Structure 1
Amino acid sequence: MKKEINQRKTEHIRLCLTGRVEGVNKTTGLEGIEFIHNALPEINFHDIDIRISFLGRELKAPFLVSSMTGGTDLAITINQNLAVAAEEKGWALAIGSTRAFLESDAYKESFLLREQAPTAPLIVNLGAVQLNYGYGPEECQQIIDKTNADSIVLHLNSLQEAVQDGGDLNFENLLPKIEKVCKTLEVPVGVKEVGFGIDGTVAEKLYNAGIAYIDVAGAGGTSWSQVEKLRSRNPLKKRAAEAFNSWGIPTKDCIVSVRSKLPNVPLVASGGMKNGMDAAKAITIGADMVGFARHLLKAATESAEAVIETMEQIELELKMTMFGIGAKNITELKNTKRVSVMGKSLLE
C-alpha cells in the first residue's frame, strides 16, 4: 500500500507537469469579470499594501501555496523549494495529503518543512474520506504534532476517487466525523475541494459542523478526473471519465455561492488561478485569500529562486491591478465599484 501511494503521487506530479489535465470547455468564470480603469488613481504605486490577516496570522500577501504533493522523492524537492519561497515572500503554505507520512517515514523530508519555513503559516492535508477508513482526530493530531502545523485541511475528492483505480468510495456519514475532528483539535480545521468546487449549501453544512475556513477549489484549472483518467489502467473507467471532462462548479460561482450563505467565513479561492489579476477578481467578489498550485509547480521542480520569481510576478500583477483602479490596500480592493460583472458595471 505504501509503495502504491508513493507511486501514485509521483505519477500525479508528472501528469500535472506534462499532461493535458485541465477540464474541457470549463473555465473559472473569472473571465466574465473586468475592472474599470481609473485614469486618476490618486495613489502612489509604492504605497500599495497587500498585507492581510488570515485566521489570526499576518501575511505579507493574500496568497496561499495550495496543497499539491508529498510522499515521493520528487515531492521533497518541490515542497522544500515551495517552503523556502513561502517563508521569503510571506505566503501561507499548504502541503499535499499526509496519509503517506502517517504510514511511512520514507519521504518524511517532503512533509517536515519547518526548517525551511519556520514562521510561514503551515497547513497540512488529509482526505476527509479517510475518516471512514480508520482515521480520526487522533491521527489528525499526530499529523499536526509531527509537522508542527498551524492548521489541517480536509479535502473532499469524491469524483477523483470514483475515477481512481482502487479509489476510496465510502463517503457516507462523513459530516459528523468531520465535526468530531473540529471539536477535538485545538488548531483550525479547514475544508477544500480538489478542483470541482464547493457551493454555498455544502459550505454552510461544513461551517455549522465547526469548519474554520473554506477553500472552494473550483473548476477551471486542473481536473482530477482527467488526471486519474490518464493514470487508469481500467478501460471502462477511462471511457466513463470522458463524460466528466467539463464537470464542476466554476471558481467564480463557488465564491459567490459560499459568500451568499456565509458572509463572514474565511474564504480561500483556488482552482485555475493563473495570475495576480485573477486573484484580484476573486478578492473583489468575496475571497479573503487566493491559492495557487499548478501555476507554481514547474518552478518548484527547479529552485526556490524560480518559485520566488513566479510569486513576485503574481504580486506585481495584483498591485498593478490595484493601481489601475485606485485601490491602495486589500480592503479597498474588496469594496471597489470599479468592476464590471458579466457586462454590468457596479459604477452604474
Structure 2
Amino acid sequence: MSQHSQRKEEHLALAKKYFEIKANDFDRVQLMRPALPESYVNKSSITYELLGKKVHAPFYINAMTGGSAKSKEINRAIGKASRIGQIPFATGSSSILAKEKEQLASFYVARQENPDGLFFANVNPNTPAKIAREIVKELDADALQIHINAVQELAMPEGDRDFRWLDKLKAIRDIVDVPVIIKEVGFGFDQASIKLLKKNDFNLIDLGGAGGTNFAQIENARAKHPLPYLDELGLSTVKSAIFAKDAEINFFASGGVRNALDILKCLVLGAKSVGIANLFLQVYENSGENGLVEQVLRLEAELAGLFALFGINHVEEAKNIKYVLTSGLLQEVICLED
C-alpha cells in the first residue's frame, strides 16, 4: 500500500474515532414555525432540479474517501444509497489518480452503482489541470469539487506548505467542461475569500464549515509533533452561510449537519443543497450498506415532514421562513464582518 493510500485508511479510522454529535451554531438559529401551516406531508415537496438533474431531496452524500481497498467498499455503498434515495453524491479526493491509476476503481465503483445520478468528483488545487479534466472524464462526473484545506495541510506531517492556489483553481475551472465547486473541508469560508472567488468568476462554493469532522484534529493525531491550536481555527457553517448569502454567491452548506432540522436551517439561510459526510460514514460503519440506505430514506421522510410543519411546498420556499440568531450569534457575525 502506498503512503497516500495508507493516509486515506488512517483518515477513515480517525474520522470514526473522533466522531461526536455535539452542539454547534445550528442550535443558535431559531426558525419561526407557523402554528397553522395549512399543509400536509408530501414527499414530492423536497424534489427539485439541481445542476440540471432532478433529485429527490436537497441534500447529498458529501466527499469522504477513495484510493484504498476499504474506501472502495464505502464508495460502493455511497453509490447504492444515492441511487435508491435519488440524491447527489461525491467521492473523496481523487488526486491520487495522478500517480496511482490503479486506484481508479475505488472511485468509479460509486458511479457504477449510480450511473445516472448527480455525481461530484473531487481533487485538490495542486492537481494539474489536464489531470483534473481527465479525472472528470474517467469518472463521468457532473461537477467537480476542488477542495481547499490550508489548515489541514499545515497540520498534516507530509502536507503542502504553499497555499498559492487561486491561479491553479482558475486553470482547472477553465479546462473542465462541468461546474466547479470550491469546497472547504471543515474550516469554513470568510467574507474576504468568498469575495475573492466571486471576483475571479467562481459562482459556487461548498462552505465546509466547522462543527463536524475536524481534519486538524485528525492530522494532529497522526503527527509526531502535533499543532493542537489549529483545532479551533474553523468558522461555523452558519457563519459562513451568512457571509455567502451577503456576498450573493451560490453555495452548498456542509459541516456539522446532524439531522433534518439542520438541513432545513441551511436551506433557510440560502443553501442550494446540503452536504453530509461523517454522519453517513458512521451509519455505514455501524449498520453497513443497508443502514446507510435506510438513513438516507429516513432523512428524506423527516425533511418532507418539516416542510409540511413550516408550511412550504418547494425547496425554494425555505428561504422565506423567518428566523432569528440567538445567544449572541448575531453579534459574533457582526464582529467578523469586513
TM-score calculated relative to the size of structure 1: 0.88
Could you tell which deviates more after superposition, 37-46 or 60-69? 37-46
Q: Give the corresponding residue for 1:185.
A: 176
3-state SS, counterpart of residue 78 of structure 1: helix
Check whether the contact 1:160–1:224 (CA below 8 A) recurs between aligned residues. yes
Match runs of 1:59-138 below 5 Å: 59-112=55-108, 113-128=110-125, 130=126, 135-138=127-130
Amino acid at match of 2:309: G
C-alpha separation between the residues in 2 aligned to 1:309 and 1:151?
Answer: 26
Match runs of 1:1-348 below 5 Å: 3-17=2-16, 19-20=17-18, 28-46=24-42, 49-112=45-108, 113-128=110-125, 130=126, 135-172=127-164, 174-232=165-223, 234=224, 236=225, 238=226, 241-262=227-248, 265-301=249-285, 302-337=287-322, 339-342=323-326
Q: Give the corresponding residue for 2:334.
A: none
Cα displacement (A) at 1:312: 1.7
Cα displacement (A) at 1:49: 0.5
Instruction: Output one character per residue of 1:27-58: Cα deviation in whole Å (capped at 9) or x when no partner.
Output: 54111112233222111213660012222222
3-state SS, counterpart of residue 263 of structure 2: helix
Cα displacement (A) at 1:207: 2.8
Runs of 5+ unmatched residues, structure 2: 329-338
C-alpha separation between the residues in 2 aligned to 1:204 and 1:75?
Answer: 35
Are the structure 2 counterparts of residues 212 and 110 from structure 1 closer, same or farther at C-alpha, using a change threshold of 3 Å? Answer: farther
Cα displacement (A) at 1:211: 2.5
Check whether the contact 2:48–2:55 (CA below 8 A) recurs between aligned residues. yes
3-state SS, counterpart of residue 123 of structure 1: strand
Amino acid at match of 1:160: Q
Cα displacement (A) at 1:171: 1.0
Instruction: Output one character per residue of 1:176-201: Cα deviation in whole Å (capped at 9) or x when no partner.
Output: 22112212221111111110001232
C-alpha separation between the residues in 2 aligned to 1:55 and 1:46?
Answer: 23
Amino acid at match of 1:60: H
Amino acid at match of 1:30: F
C-alpha separation between the residues in 2 aligned to 1:7 and 1:321?
Answer: 41
Runs of 5+ unmatched residues, structure 1: none
Cα displacement (A) at 1:63: 1.0
C-alpha separation between the residues in 1 aligned to 2:23 and 2:202?
Answer: 27
Cα displacement (A) at 1:105: 3.3
Identity of aligned residues (%): 28
C-alpha separation between the residues in 2 aligned to 1:184 and 1:71?
Answer: 24
Check whether the contact 1:28–1:251 (CA below 8 A) recurs between aligned residues. no
Pairs aligned (count): 326
3-state SS, counterpart of residue 2 of structure 2: helix
3-state SS, counterpart of residue 153 of structure 1: strand
3-state SS, counterpart of residue 106 of structure 1: helix
Amino acid at match of 1:167: G
Check whether the contact 1:33–1:342 (CA below 8 A) recurs between aligned residues. yes
C-alpha separation between the residues in 2 aligned to 1:332 and 1:100?
Answer: 40
Are the structure 2 counterparts of residues 85 and 38 from structure 1 closer, same or farther at C-alpha, using a change threshold of 3 Å? Answer: same
Check whether the contact 1:22–1:223 (CA below 8 A) recurs between aligned residues. no
3-state SS, counterpart of residue 286 of structure 1: coil
Check whether the contact 1:201–1:258 (CA below 8 A) recurs between aligned residues. no
TM-score calculated relative to the size of structure 2: 0.91
Check whether the contact 1:200–1:261 (CA below 8 A) recurs between aligned residues. yes
Q: CA RMSD in A?
A: 2.0
